[in-house]
Amino acid sequence: MIILRSQTLAVLSVIVLCATSVNAQSWLQALIKSTNGTLDVRSFPGEQCLRQCDETQPRICYFSWTMEHYHVMGPACRDCAKGNHTDCYHPACITADGVERGVMSLNRHIPGPAINVCHNDLIVVDITNAMAGTAAAIHWHGLHQRATPYMDGVPFITQCPIGFGNTFRYAFLATEPGTQFYHSHSGHHKVNGHYGALIVREPRNADPNGDLYHYDTPAHVIVGSDWMHIDGEMFMPGLPSAGGIMPVNLLINGRGKFHDREKNETTNVPLEVYTVRRGARFRFRFINAASHVCPLQLQIEDHIMEVIASDSFHLQPRKVDTLISTSGERYDFVLEANGPKDTYWIRLRALGPCAELELEQFAVLRYTTGPKENDAFPTTLPPPYDQQFPNVATANHPNATCGRPEFGDYCITDFQAYDSDESVANGTPDHQLTFGFVNSLVTFQNMFETHPYEHFMNIHGSVMLQGAINNLSLSYPPFPLLTQPEQIDESMFCDENHRPARCADRRLCTCIHRVKIELGDLVELYILDLTPSVNDLNHPFHLHGYQMFVMELGQDRRVPVTYEIAQQIARQRLLQRNTVALPPRKDTISIPSRGYARVRFRANNPGFWLMHCHYEWHTAVGMALVLQVGETTDMVKPPTGFPKCNSYTPAVDELLKEVL
């Protein structure tokens, strides 16, 4: 499927009509008029959009990417593994952790190419799918797509996936400044390599923390991810002999080393290197692009991190030495380069269910200059796993007691924004919804006899799970709801009050779980963990198209154990809630283990928006739902010629007429 070059103006026209920025709108209108219908976006290379930002001068930023089945340590790496360091840096060489494996790449990079633009720039990305037998789509995580909801990149919700051999043109305004990222929303492509940084900078005077740092450059973006040595699809539905669905390593900006404990060998590939200048302050942007269920802990040897933003939203600063995040979250912090040594370790560690695996990865922070290769192959060994860095103040410890920062553990609710929307933060909600999530055990009979072909994951042995919210496990429609609303039949949807007849004998039901909300309403969500056992698993929930005001986090390790009890507790807490003056805003919120989050948003962005656990396997097995905001008549229409997809099941007699 393809949006052709001739349709570029149609896309731009829709963006102009819906643009929320007056400057961006008038600029695009003038540009379209001046080109007289001959605009070629390829003449605006995206690399030139990295600049000092000025609100009055937006640009077009064009990128061309190819999705490809590729490999780590393939022939492009030549003698990298044998000690030829120059070969490790060939543009087509992906080193990862030095262990050969097949991957999915974008332009033969992992992470994919970085996007660096300014607020209200127009981002145009042509993505060609060269992965035979695979369809895919890319989600622009953190951008609300108010003018272009059909560019959100969720297969069968906002678009058809891009088929093999086809090119799809994404075009949208960079409307939310801050640290964002992109990733595939298809299958397990993200854990296989489809992810990357998307940084939307704003003028320094628009940042309330702008005076805290001297430098904000692409060289100080940290993309943390987990890594396996086999395709993610190997664990869908799973392997009975596996000990769970777990990573074997971590990567920092796609680099790292792997130590084989059985052979006592370590791969000879480069670490990532970050360069700072002594006496200066640098803005670092940390992106958690992990796929598994393990929080990532970031520490920088002998340095303090002053946290100033989360999920692109400004925060009043707090200083910590340990920063913990879950999949999909982003944190910005200021590092003051005041160390006496020339090099330091940046340490990334997997926590929670990964703790017993002792997974960690290192990068190098250096005060020296010269080629990065000089410091990417350290001659000294990093500290052993049990030699921890000092830990006095932690942001987002998995088992922190929220609301008691005097103990040195800060939850996101212990941070404050600089401003707020009083009507959202302390208004009276129009909707108060409880979303209780769980990975439910499913039986042999259901999976293989009475209800075959439903999604599930096999953790180990005979243990099989389906993800669910309010006892409903999301299945996807055969067409994208947003861009083909004429095909919608209301009977196709389910919610907790309307379950299909085929689920009458089942507590857990697989169906198209849709929650409908009126446009403009104030919504309060109570998202809680119904896991029957206590563990260190924190589920990150991401809401597409919106920012969430985080009002409250809490934990109760006794109950709830059922959805009915959870609803009772939710109603009690909603009645007892306290007002919050300057609640932080996020698009991805980590729910405390066996705990809850209370969040709010104003439903002012019409469309079909996915809300889901950001752990890749949990989304795949149904821990998700679709929020419909407004009626389809309220929603932005896609451009003329937007690609279609659907099932094909004509009547047999009609087929016979054609055949005979």
Instruction: Return contacts of 495-503, CB within 8 angstroms, 24+ apart.
Output: 495/470, 496/470, 496/471, 496/472, 499/472
pLDDT band at 595 (very low <50, low <70, confident <90, very high): confident
Q: What is the number of other CB atoms lying within 10 angstroms of the CB of residue 552? A: 18
pLDDT band at 2 (very low <50, low <70, confident <90, very high): very low
* pLDDT value of residue 1: 43
Q: What average pLDDT does the structure give for the chain?
A: 91
Which residues span the domain enclosing 608? Answer: 423-634
* pLDDT value of residue 3: 44
Structure confidence by residue, pLDDT tens digits, 611-657: 999 999 999 999 999 999 999 999 999 999 999 987 777 888 777 77
As a whole number of angstroms, the distance between CA 472 and CA 625 comes to 8
* pLDDT value of residue 30: 72
Beta-bridge mates of residue 184: 138
519 and 560 share one domain = yes
* pLDDT value of residue 377: 96
616 and 487 share one domain = yes
Residue 522 lies in a domain: yes
* pLDDT value of residue 20: 54
611 and 481 share one domain = yes
Percent of the chain surpassing pLDDT 70: 89
Residue 50 lies in a domain: no
Residue with tokens 């042509």: 126
Structure confidence by residue, pLDDT tens digits, 147-181: 999 999 999 999 999 999 999 999 999 999 999 99
Residue 590 lies in a domain: yes
| Region of poorest pLDDT, from 42-51, 278-287, 292-301, 440-449 | 440-449
Residue 616 lies in a domain: yes
Residue 8, CB half-sphere, CA atoms under 13 Å: how many? 20
Tell me the longest C-alpha to C-alpha distance in the chain.
84
> Residue 561: pLDDT above 60?
no
Percent of the chain surpassing pLDDT 90: 75
How many DSSP H helices and E strands does the chain contain?
A: 8, 37
> Residue 489: pLDDT above 60?
yes
391 and 456 share one domain = no
> Token pair of 57, please?
């001068």
Radius of gyration of the chain (CA): 24
As a whole number of angstroms, the distance between CA 84 and CA 638 comes to 51
More confident of the two residues 645 and 14: 645
Residue 651 lies in a domain: no
Residue 420 burial (10 A CB sphere; 0-12, 13-18, 19+): middle
Contact (CB, 8 A) for 251 and 272: no
Residue with tokens 């704003």: 202
* pLDDT value of residue 647: 78
Over residues 385-391, the mean pLDDT reads 94
> Token pair of 533, please?
């056992």
Q: What is the number of other CB atoms lying within 10 angstroms of the CB of residue 356? A: 7
234 and 162 share one domain = yes
Over residues 440-448, the mean pLDDT reads 89
341 and 439 share one domain = no
Pairing label, strands 281-288, 221-227: parallel
> Residue 557: pLDDT above 60?
no
Query: Which stretch of DSSP H or E encloses residue 654?
Result: helix 652-659
Phi/psi for 573 (5° steps) reads -70, -35
Contact (CB, 8 A) for 517 and 635: no
> Residue 301: pLDDT above 90?
yes
* pLDDT value of residue 589: 97
311 and 439 share one domain = no
330 and 374 share one domain = yes
370 and 507 share one domain = no
Structure confidence by residue, pLDDT tens digits, 318-335: 999 999 999 999 999 999
Structure confidence by residue, pLDDT tens digits, 57-115: 899 999 999 999 999 999 999 999 999 999 999 999 999 999 999 999 999 999 999 99
294 and 428 share one domain = no
Query: Which stretch of DSSP H or E encloses residue 598?
Result: strand 595-602
Nearest C-alpha neighbor of 235 from the set 191, 283, 171: 191
Pairing label, strands 221-227, 249-252: antiparallel
State the DSSP string of 4-27.
-GGGHHHHHHHHHHH-S-HHHHHH
Residue 165 lies in a domain: yes
508 and 619 share one domain = yes
- For 286, residues 6+ apart whose C-beta sits below 8 A from its C-beta are 179, 222, 224, 298, 323, 325, 330, 331, 332, 333
* pLDDT value of residue 362: 98
SS3 33: helix
Range 55-85 burial, b when 16+ CB lie within 10 A, else e: beebbbbbbbbbbbebbbbbeebeebbeeeb
As a whole number of angstroms, the distance between CA 87 and CA 293 comes to 34
* pLDDT value of residue 562: 61
Nearest C-alpha neighbor of 185 from the set 619, 485, 510, 608: 619
Domain containing residue 464: CATH number: 2.60.40.420
Count up the domains in the chain and report the number: 2
Contact (CB, 8 A) for 321 and 390: yes
240: amino acid identity, one letter: P
Residue 10 lies in a domain: no
Nearest C-alpha neighbor of 24 from the set 110, 100, 120: 120
Range 444-462 burial, b when 16+ CB lie within 10 A, else e: eebbeeebeebbbbbbeee
Structure confidence by residue, pLDDT tens digits, 396-427: 987 766 766 666 789 999 999 999 999 999 99
Over residues 208-235, the mean pLDDT reads 96
Residue 37 lies in a domain: no
* pLDDT value of residue 5: 45
Q: What are the DSSP E strand ranges found in 241-295? A: 249-252, 259-260, 265-266, 273-275, 281-288
451 and 520 share one domain = yes
Residue 2, CB half-sphere, CA atoms under 13 Å: how many? 9
